[in-house]
């Protein structure tokens, strides 16, 4: 199990309804089904990954996240997941809005572009960062909307998104006091658990 | 005509006729007092009776889904590519049942059968049957075979509509509902094509208001025209270009290939067949008209037109699925313009709204609506993977 997924699974309620956007081969949904008896649906675009889902008995819908999620009812899932995909969609803001509409709470993980390694790569080499973790060249990368932990914090603040938990880890998904102290500089992966802020009382 | 049967074939099969005496009430308000169903089965029913799969046929299909009736058969059953030992619907593990639906013309009671009340053919007096009526008759067949719950019910097009109806009418009797190239109901365009087909048949002077057998004739011309129109809707533009554009080397470039191959190499400057596509449609239509009953064709197109499971639920299909207890798997094909992917997605959306477990695959395929009958690799792979999982489920239930 990918370590970020291990962190996420702790936030999933047993028996809940989970929608996994970009579910890959269904490993997380299968894990959650076996350990937490969730009712899961995955969305995936890649044929071979879809076959991986079918092989695990995971319900999977072939659908392009960039074409919207109109086929899902509002508040029809307990948790909507988006792991390591936010940076690859055309309109991350619209997708997060849709996640908040469909799910009572949402979990997003993304690579933190504010990490010191990315900064140093760009600063000293003067080229777009390429690493084992993000091995793409600028012209062929699926990752078209990189952001930093600070960017996403600001994004949540400006949109009345209530961040329930923010976990920042390094590439081995180790969590340490030093990363927590300097999340934007040291973390490589950011994991956010959030929901829509309850509407403010009209009486005031 | 195979000299030897392929190893992954179910081999030589013999259909069986089942007689039912209990009257079957029909959606129209009429009833069938007694009827026969022509049935083929492949593989063995296990001791727990948990490995049975029902295959539902489409408009022109019948009970002969796989294998050969004799060594002289030109072709195997209509879905032989998917049914057999080691094939996606693996007869080493599953007991597969396929029947000719009521109103059909391949052995089950239909317009070409004798009406016991009159002593002559039913002809136009055979009641209009609907998908719901078929599924009720299939449920009785399941009772007869001792099958309480199907491991899966599978069908494409009109067959997929029967699968949908099973999941709604008999939620406790279906584990997996698998439908391909299907729509929740027909569109005006779909109905329009069906009406042209029906008019072709009823306008044939040999039709005699459906009593052609009494007149010792068959409305072959009408059935041929109906089939030609239908056949066009089963193929995609790209499939036709490919099929009828082989003559010229320069046309290898797909965008230039319009599929305009000539039959005799030159234009006739008359009104006879000039192009390959014309002669193909004639041939297909003629062959079909020799074996398929005109009244059955009329009935099948009506069953398509009338299908709409949302009709009992204020037009809300998701409510129709409220009690469904199976897992769903739907497949659409990119070039299918009869039931395009959007139409299949309507069903997926209704199932999601109803909170059901549903998988959906949007398969890239050039062959149009017909793709559901063909061995499109990605489609066969998904069917295999899905049903392998069903096998596991069955064996863990048995343990």
CB-CB contact of B164 with B182 (8 Å):
yes
Residues of A in contact with B327 (CB under 8 A): 59
SS3 assignment, position A188: coil
Residues near B41 by beta carbon (within 8 Å), at least 6 away in sequence: B16, B95, B96, B97, B98, B145
- Stretch B109-119: mean pLDDT, rounded? 95
What are the tokens at B316?
């809300």
Please report the ipTM that was assigned to this predicted complex: 0.92
What are the tokens at A66?
């960039």
What are the tokens at B130?
């609907």
Digit-coded pLDDT (tens) for B176-213:
999 999 999 999 999 999 999 999 999 999 999 999 99
- The pair phi, psi for residue A105, each rounded to 5°, is -145, 160
A80 falls within a domain: yes
- Stretch B99-120: mean pLDDT, rounded? 96
A140 falls within a domain: no
Q: Would you call B336 a catalytic residue per the annotation?
A: yes
Digit-coded pLDDT (tens) for B141-165:
999 999 999 999 999 999 999 999 9
Q: Would you call B157 a catalytic residue per the annotation?
A: yes
Q: Would you call B369 a catalytic residue per the annotation?
A: yes
- The pair phi, psi for residue B91, each rounded to 5°, is -75, -5
- The model carries a pTM of 0.94
Q: Which of A41, A54, A62 sits opposite B386 (nearest CB)?
A: A54
Q: Which domains does chain B have, with CATH numbers?
A: 16-185+309-398 (3.40.50.1820), 187-306 (1.10.1740.110)
- Stretch A98-110: mean pLDDT, rounded? 96
CB-CB contact of B382 with B361 (8 Å):
yes
A190 falls within a domain: yes
What are the tokens at A188?
């490589």
Domain count, chain A: 1
Angle made by CA atoms A67, A70, A72, in degrees to the nearest 5: 125
A135 falls within a domain: no
Check B357 against A73: CB less than 8 A apart. Answer: no
Check B358 against A55: CB less than 8 A apart. Answer: no
Digit-coded pLDDT (tens) for A175-191:
777 777 778 777 788 89
Please list, residue by residue across B99-134, b when 16 or more beta carbons sit within 10 angstroms of its beta carbon and e when fewer do: bbbbbbbbbbbbbbbeeeeeeebbbbebbebbbbbb
What are the tokens at A40?
């899961």
Residues of B in contact with A62 (CB under 8 A): 360-362
SS3 assignment, position B154: strand
Check B382 against A61: CB less than 8 A apart. Answer: no
- The pair phi, psi for residue B314, each rounded to 5°, is 50, 30
SS3 assignment, position B131: helix
* pLDDT for the residue A204: 43
Residue B250's pLDDT band (boundaries 50, 70, 90)? low
Does B307 score more than 70 pLDDT?
yes
Residues of A in contact with B392 (CB under 8 A): 57
Q: What percent of chain B has pLDDT over 70?
A: 96
Domain of A69: which CATH number? Answer: 3.40.50.150
Per the prediction, chain B carries an average pLDDT of 95
* pLDDT for the residue A124: 86
A38 falls within a domain: yes
Q: Which of B357, B381, B385 sits opposite A59 (nearest CB)?
A: B357
The residue of chain B nearest to residue A75, with distances taken between CA atoms, is B353
Check B357 against A62: CB less than 8 A apart. Answer: no
Does A150 score more than 70 pLDDT?
yes
Residue B179: closest CA among B45, B336, B13: B336
A89 falls within a domain: yes
Check B345 against A51: CB less than 8 A apart. Answer: no
Residue A173's pLDDT band (boundaries 50, 70, 90)? low
Does B1 score more than 60 pLDDT?
no
CB-CB contact of B321 with B354 (8 Å):
yes
Q: State which residues form the domain around A79.
A: 3-112+146-195
Q: How far is CA A88 from CA A161, B2, B86, in A?
A: 21, 53, 40
Q: Which helix (H) or strand (E) holds B230?
A: helix B220-234
Digit-coded pLDDT (tens) for B72-81:
998 999 999 9
- The pair phi, psi for residue B291, each rounded to 5°, is -115, -20
Residue corresponding to tokens 């052609």: B212
The residue of chain A nearest to residue B342, with distances taken between CA atoms, is A71
Q: How far is CA B76 from CA A30, A148, B153, B180, B234, in A?
A: 39, 61, 21, 21, 20
């Amino acid at each position: 199990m990918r370590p970020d997924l291990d962190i996420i699974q702790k936030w999933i309620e047993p028996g809940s309804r989970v929608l996994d956007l970009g579910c890959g081969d269904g490993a997380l949904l299968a894990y959650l089904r076996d350990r937490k008896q969730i009712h899961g649906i995955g969305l995936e675009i890649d044929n071979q990954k879809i076959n991986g889902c079918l092989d695990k008995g995971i319900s999977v819908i072939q659908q392009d996240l960039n074409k919207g999620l109109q086929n899902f009812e509002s508040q029809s899932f307990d948790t909507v997941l988006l792991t390591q995909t936010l940076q690859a969609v055309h309109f991350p803001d619209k997708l997060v809005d849709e996640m908040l509409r469909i799910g009572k709470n949402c979990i997003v993980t993304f690579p933190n572009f504010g990490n010191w390694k990315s900064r140093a790569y760009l600063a000293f080499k003067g080229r777009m960062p390429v690493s084992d973790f993000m091995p793409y060249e600028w012209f062929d990368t699926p990752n078209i909307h990189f952001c930093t932990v600070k960017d996403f914090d600001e994004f949540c603040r400006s949109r009345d998104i209530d961040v329930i938990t923010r976990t920042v880890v390094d590439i081995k998904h180790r969590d340490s006091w030093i990363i927590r102290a300097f999340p934007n500089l040291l973390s490589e992966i950011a994991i956010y658990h959030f929901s829509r802020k309850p509407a403010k009382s009209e009486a005031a | 005509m195979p000299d030897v049967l392929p190893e992954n074939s179910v081999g030589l099969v013999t259909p069986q006729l089942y007689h039912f005496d209990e009257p079957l009430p029909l959606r129209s308000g009429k009833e069938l007092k007694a009827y026969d169903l022509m049935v083929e089965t492949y593989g063995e029913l296990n001791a727990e009776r948990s490995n049975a799969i029902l295959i539902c046929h489409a408009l022109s299909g019948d009970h002969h889904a796989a294998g050969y009736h004799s060594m002289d058969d030109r072709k195997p059953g209509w879905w032989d590519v998917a049914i057999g030992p080691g094939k996606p619907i693996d007869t080493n593990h599953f007991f597969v049942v396929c029947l000719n639906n009521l109103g059909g013309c391949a052995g089950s009671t239909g317009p070409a059968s004798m009406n016991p009340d009159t002593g002559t053919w039913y002809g136009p007096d055979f009641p209009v049957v609907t998908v719901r009526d078929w599924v009720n008759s299939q449920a009785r067949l399941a009772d007869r075979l001792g099958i309480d719950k199907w491991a899966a019910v599978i069908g494409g097009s009109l067959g997929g509509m029967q699968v949908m109806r099973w999941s709604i009418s008999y939620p406790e009797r279906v584990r997996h509902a698998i439908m391909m190239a299907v729509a929740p109901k027909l569109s005006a365009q779909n109905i329009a094509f069906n009406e042209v087909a029906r008019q072709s048949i009823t306008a044939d002077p040999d039709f005699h208001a459906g009593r052609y057998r009494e007149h010792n004739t068959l409305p072959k011309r009408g059935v041929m025209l109906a089939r030609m129109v239908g056949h066009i809707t089963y193929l995609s533009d790209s499939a036709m270009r490919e099929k009828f554009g082989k003559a010229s080397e320069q046309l290898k470039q797909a965008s230039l290939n319009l599929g305009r191959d000539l039959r005799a190499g030159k234009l006739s400057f008359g009104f006879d067949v000039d192009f390959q596509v014309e002669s193909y449609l004639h041939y297909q239509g003629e062959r079909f008209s020799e074996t398929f009953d005109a009244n059955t064709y009329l009935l099948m197109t009506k069953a398509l037109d009338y299908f709409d499971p949302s009709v009992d639920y204020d037009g809300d299909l998701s409510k129709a699925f409220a009690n469904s207890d199976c897992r769903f798997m739907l497949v659409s094909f990119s070039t299918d313009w009869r039931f395009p992917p959007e139409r299949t997605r309507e069903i997926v959306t209704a199932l999601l709204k109803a909170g059901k477990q549903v998988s959906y695959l949007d398969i890239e395929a050039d062959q149009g609506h017909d793709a559901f009958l063909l061995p499109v690799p990605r489609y066969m792979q998904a069917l295999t993977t899905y049903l392998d999982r069903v096998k596991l489920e069955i064996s863990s239930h048995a343990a």
